[in-house]
Each structure stands twice: as C-alpha cells, then as structure tokens.
Amino acid sequence: MIFPAIDLRAGQSVRLYQGDFEQATLINADPVAQAKQINAAGLNQLHLVDLDGAKAGQPENYATIAAIRAAFNGTLELGGDRIVIGIDGKQGYVAINGWLDQSQTKMSTLMQAMQADGAKHFIVTDVARDGTLQGPNIELYQELQAQLPAINLIASGGVRNLEDVQMLQASGFKDVIIGKALAAGNVTLAELAEVAPC
C-alpha cells in the first residue's frame, strides 16, 4: 500500500528535515482538509505522525488525530490500526526521543527482539534521509529484510518521486510512506493512486 504521510505539530501538517524540529516546513494549516484531499484522489491509506507526542513521550495532537479519523475513509496508521512498530534510525542504530538522540542499539537487534514477541509490521525510517529528497535507503531496507525475512517492512524516508516508489516496489517493498515528495510536488496523489496496489 502507498501511505501518504501527514506529520502533525501543534495541530498543523509540517515536514521536518532529517527530524530536526528547528527545520520544519508548514505543509497545510488544516490537516483534516489535507486528509480529505488524499481520499478524494482515490487513496484510502494515510500515515499520521504526532511529532509533538514523539518528543514529549505522550500524545499531544489527539484532537487533530480524532478529527482526521472522523473525516478519513480508509486505513489510518498512527503507529497503526494494525500493530505497526516504528523503528527510526541513523547509520543502522536506533534514534530515540523524537530523533533527538541516537542509541547504541542496532535497528536489527531491536526488530529481532520485537519480532520474537510477535511483531510483524515495521515502519523503518532512515532519519538521515527523511525530509531530504535524497532517495530511499534501499540498501538498509534490503539488509534488514534479509535478516528478518518474515516481517513486513514499510519503507519510509527520502522518497523523491514516483520512480523511487516504483523502485521500492520492484525491490519487494510494497508498503511505502511518502511525505516530502508530495509536499514538494514531485509526485501527485493521482500518480500514487495509479501505482498503489489494490
């Protein structure tokens, strides 16, 4: 599935550059309207991120999320309606506290531990690529998928255009999250609807 992303900060849709809260770009002051536009384009999946909540360690944009849920017809991920684990990292190590700190835990080690406890779906974001339009880190995704062949890896971070989406799909990653490329106009909702699996 193709998941357009809406990152929430103070009730608005924004994009961060490499997870830096000081480098936030306003995408839409009305994320509910943005979600409706995604629906209208024929896409019925949406990925939400509560940036303030990630930083604070507790939900911070609940009212906006509830309004989007009420307005959006389809699958809404906020870490998932299904259980989806978000693993964010840089250079193969887990990033924590809203990406502000980097741990000494390998992404693969954390994923293996969670898989042992029954987790099956993982959103993997390369913090160094997120919001940069530098292209997805397919090498990282392939390495993690090879180590954990039974998981569903959802690729996130760095997607530049439709060609990147198609390249990820051709590499076996059917679930892709797209944020900055949409905001920058490098790919349209209509184009995504054409390549989204039914």
Q: Which residues are catalytic?
A: 7, 88
Q: What is the phi/psi pair of residue 183, to 5°? A: -60, -35
DSSP assignment of the chain? -EEEEEEEETTEEEEEETTEEEEEEEEES-HHHHHHHHHHTT--EEEEEEHHHHHHTS---HHHHHHHHHH--SEEESSTTTTEEEEEEETTEEEETTTTEEEEEEHHHHHHHHHHTT--EEEEEETTTTTTTS---HHHHHHHHHH-TTSEEEEES---SHHHHHHHHHTT---EEE-HHHHTTSS-HHHHHHHS--
